[in-house]
Structure formats: C-alpha cells, structure tokens
Chain A
Amino acid sequence: MKIKNPIFTTEDLCAYYGDFMAIKHVTVKIPEKQVTAVMGPSGCGKTTFIRCLNRLHELTPGARITGKIFLRDQDILQMDPIIVRRKVGMVFQRPNPFPTMTIYENVLAGYKLLGIRLPKKEADRIVEEALKKAALWDEVKDVLHRRGTFLSGGQQQRLCIARALAVKPEVLLMDEPTSALDPKATLQIENLIVELKQTVTIIIVTHNMPQAGRISDYTAFFYLGELIEFGPTAEVFTNPKDPRTEEYLTGKFS
C-alpha cells in the first residue's frame, strides 16, 4: 500500500520496558492530515506505540526504543524530545487539566511551562482560537478565569484538547480519549476529531470499533506488540488480510 505524504515513518521500531519487548519491529507510514486509528486487544502495545511517537515512552524508568522514527524526514530519536513534544501533542485517556490553573491558564499552559510570555492580546487570541477549535468556547467563555476542575468530564477532555492545540502541533496523539466519557460527550469529541483533521494529523487509540469506523481514515491493528494490519479503515474492516484481525473484528477476543 502506498502512502504518499507520510507524516510519521517508523522503521523496525521496537520499544522495551526493561527486558520486556512491548513493540516488536514495527515499520509503518502514517498519512498526513488524516485520522489513523490504532486498535487491538488490551495490552497489545497501543499506548506504548503512540508514546514512542512523542518520546513520552522514555520517561518510564527502564524504558527504551530501538529502530527509527521519522517525523517527515527528521529522525525524532536524534532530536531534542522537547521539540518533538511540541510538534506532537498528546491527549490522555483520563482528562487531566491542571487543577492549580484556571481554564484560561490551562489553555496557555504550553507557553507558561516553557516560560514564554505572551502579550495579553496575543494570549487572548490563542485561548479563543484553541477553545473554538476544541468546540468548548461557547460553554466556557464566561468562566475563563475559574479553575477547570468544575467542568464535566467531556468538557475537561476538550479543555485538554484545546491545551494541546494551543501550541499548534502538527500531530495530535489521543489515547482512548473517550473511554472515560458518556455517549453524548463521546459523540462531541468524535465530531471534533473529524473537524480537526483539516489542520492536524490525528492518531487515536480506540477500543471502540464503531468509533474507529466513524472517524478514522486508516486503521492500524496491533497484536502482542506486532503491527499485523495497516490500511484504509474501510478496507481493513471489510476485508482484513490477517485472520487475527478478522477474529478481533468479529469479537472472538477483545
């Protein structure tokens, strides 16, 4: 299968926790400005895989990576992880806005953390733009200077999306971003993801097959740390090449 403009290319990527090999020899190209779903049974390495892509993996004591990961044509394993993480944002499984900051400060956290001071006008503009992109602006525009902790789970997760978008990443990694949310909040985030792919590449881990079907253009299937299937979602879902993918899709294991 040909991917013309890959934003990420991994070559023989392996990821370890100590001696345990959690990702095994993954070679894949991930297309730009598309939504790629990462699927597979629990414990197969989905989280580990996306955490390699912004070098969060190496924060775990004893964890390491071998192989190559290119962001366009730059080898991110040779780059400063701080620069990688600003280009590749992340949204986590559980919403985690900073409880010591207001909503406004949360959105700007990516600047504040790095000691970047913005003129008030510029800051206001970034906050509004990010919150609008995250489809949260209308709900919070009157409470920007309150703590984000009173928001509902779905609102908190969209605040985290806004926080990630505010630093203008090229890629947004999402690790089961709706698994802690109710169906209504889930739907809002799904719609948001489809909107966002105009401007940013999205790689989303999901357990939820209908969700992957609704929002993703490409699907990657992991099994015990190996990438066993990758292709356009419609193709993978209707005509899987690997029997294990088919078994998973038909619910033989989960």
Chain B
Amino acid sequence: MFEPKNLYRQIKYDLLFRKLATSMGALVIFLVVATFFTLVYESWPAIKAFGLRFLWNTTWDPVSLEFGALPFLVGTLITSFLALLIATPFALAGAIFLGELAPPKIANPVSFVMELLAGIPSVIYGLWALFYLVPLVRAFELKIGAPPYGLGLFTASLVLAIMILPYALSVARDVIKLVPQDLKEAAYGLGATRWETIRHIVLPYARSGILAGIVLALGRALGETMAVTMVIGNRSAMPQSIWDLANTMASVIANEFTEATEDVHLAALVEIGLLLFVITVVVNLVARIFIVKTKVR
C-alpha cells in the first residue's frame, strides 16, 4: 500500500543519485581540463624558450638543447593517414561482408574474432611486427632499391593499419546493419542486384556512420604508442620518404622521457604531449559530430 515514509526515502535517494551522477560528470570534465593545464604548466619552459617556432622547427637536438616538433608532427600525420589509407578499403569491404552479405553463421564468429583482435595489447602487435613484418618490408625495400632498414614509417603505418582495422570495421558494420530492410527490398523490387543495392542504397545511407568510424580509428592511430615505437626506428630528424626511420609524437615521448635530464628537454617532450592531446581531442570531436549527424537522420 501507499506509504508516504517510503516515498520520501525514495525521493531522497533519487536526489542523492542525481547529485552523484552530476558530480561524476563534472569530475570527468575536470580531469580533461586539469590534464590540459598540467601539460601546459609542465611544458612552460619549452613554450617560453621556443615559442611558436617549436611547431615548424625541424631540429630536435637534446645535446645543443634545440627543440622543434615538426619531424614528429610529420611522422604522426604520415603514419596515421597512411594507416587509414591502407585500412579503409579493407574495413569497408569487411563491413559490407559482415553487415550485409555473410549469413549469421559466418558473420558472428568472424565478428567475435575481430573483437578479440581489438583487445590484444599493442606491445604484442609490436613484437609480431618486429618478427614478421620487418623482414618482409626489408625484402620489399631491397627489391625496389630503398634503404633496407625494415623499420620505419611504412612499417609503422602497416602495423597501425592492422591495429585500427577492427575499430573502423566494426563501426561500419554496425551502421550498415542499421540500414532498413524495406529500403533494400524496394531496390530489389526495382530489379537491382545485390551489389547495385549496396552501392546505391546501403552505402549512401550508412555514409556518415562509416566516416565516423574512420575518424574514430584515426584518433586511435594518432595516439598509438608502443607498437609504433617498436618498429619506427626512432630517428629524430625530418623524414625524407616513407622508407625512412622516423619518430611519431607518441614514440619520441616514450623513447626519450626516461632519459631526459635537462628541464627544457623534458618540457619540450611534454609540449609534444600537449600538441598530441589537442589533436586527438579535435579528431574525436569531429567523429562525434559525424555520429550525431547520423543519428538525426
């Protein structure tokens, strides 16, 4: 029966819960802002010393204490976009296969294995790449007359492509699955083949969701550290070709952070972290906007 006492208690709990949820939300925002300001604070000596020139200076010399971030910016952008370029066709083909063509008997186990792949620690990818990819790339480089390091930008991009594939693929598969059956039937009813239906109905409908998946994958590629550090060759100079040894923003931090003894060296590394932080936040925001746009339609 109706008991006012109980009701009051429920209202009290309800209020309490609301407060708890609100403060958790506030805490998350606080953490992001605090991270940002910590990075700014810790990198202040470098910001003061190098100013905006830090962004386009190509010299990174811990001995003469001259620091510029451009080689790493370039390294990160090249590896990430190359990885995206390699991964996207596979992601799209795989998503069409799993979301539209394959019967559940095949699609479900394949999707399961793919989710497992996404959960493998990146150091394992790095090891695998060292033992398997590096010799392959070296053989290829010998054939085309490039310097046969085996390591370098191209190898790092390949590893990254493999690592981000499950993310881009599963997002794309999910949006392809959301395409209403009655639209596909309408297309078949007009005499379209399966491929024509996919190309003219399914993909346009799922387009913004697929893009969101790709941008999300880009966000991961930008920040991926361990596997890249293991295969990129760790050379802090401007790369001249995709066969060069190089560094990304994440890999140079991972490599030099423990050895940095000078304050300004440490601060320069943190400033690179700050740049990376800003870039990933922007990329994730862009992905969010795509997702919101998909939902509205």
Interface residues in chain A, defined as those with a beta carbon under 8 Å from any beta carbon in chain B: 54, 56, 59, 61, 82-83, 85-86, 89-90, 92, 94, 96, 98-100, 109-110, 112-115, 160, 163-164, 167
Contacts and interface: CB of A to CB of B under 8 A. Distances in A.
B156 to A, nearest CB: 37
Nearest to B203: A100
Contacts of A89: 189-190
Q: Which of A59, A61, A83 has the most CB of B within 10 A?
A: A59
Given A82-B191, A114-B191, A96 B196 contact: no
A56 to B, nearest CB: 6
Nearest to B104: A61
B190 A164 contact: yes
B167 interface: no
Contacts of A115: 196
B183 to A, nearest CB: 6
Contacts of B190: 85-86, 89, 109-110, 113-114, 163-164, 167
A94 B182 contact: yes
Interface in B90-122: 103
A90 B189 contact: yes
B48 interface: no
B188 A110 contact: no
A61 B103 contact: yes
5 contacts: A61-B103, A89-B189, A92-B185, A113-B187, A114-B192
| Chain B interface size, under 10 / 10 to 19 / 20 to 34 / 35 or more | 20 to 34
10 interchain residue pairs of minimum CB distance: A86-B191, A113-B192, A90-B189, A100-B204, A110-B190, A85-B191, A96-B182, A82-B191, A96-B186, A113-B196
Interface of B: 103, 180, 182-183, 185-193, 196-197, 200-201, 204-205, 207, 297
Contacts of A86: 190-191
A105 to B, nearest CB: 10
Nearest to A113: B192
A65 to B, nearest CB: 16
Contacts of B187: 98, 109, 113
A196 B65 CA distance: 84
A82 B193 CA distance: 7
A163 to B, nearest CB: 7
Given A113-B196, A113-B197, A96 B191 contact: no
Contacts of A109: 186-187, 190, 200
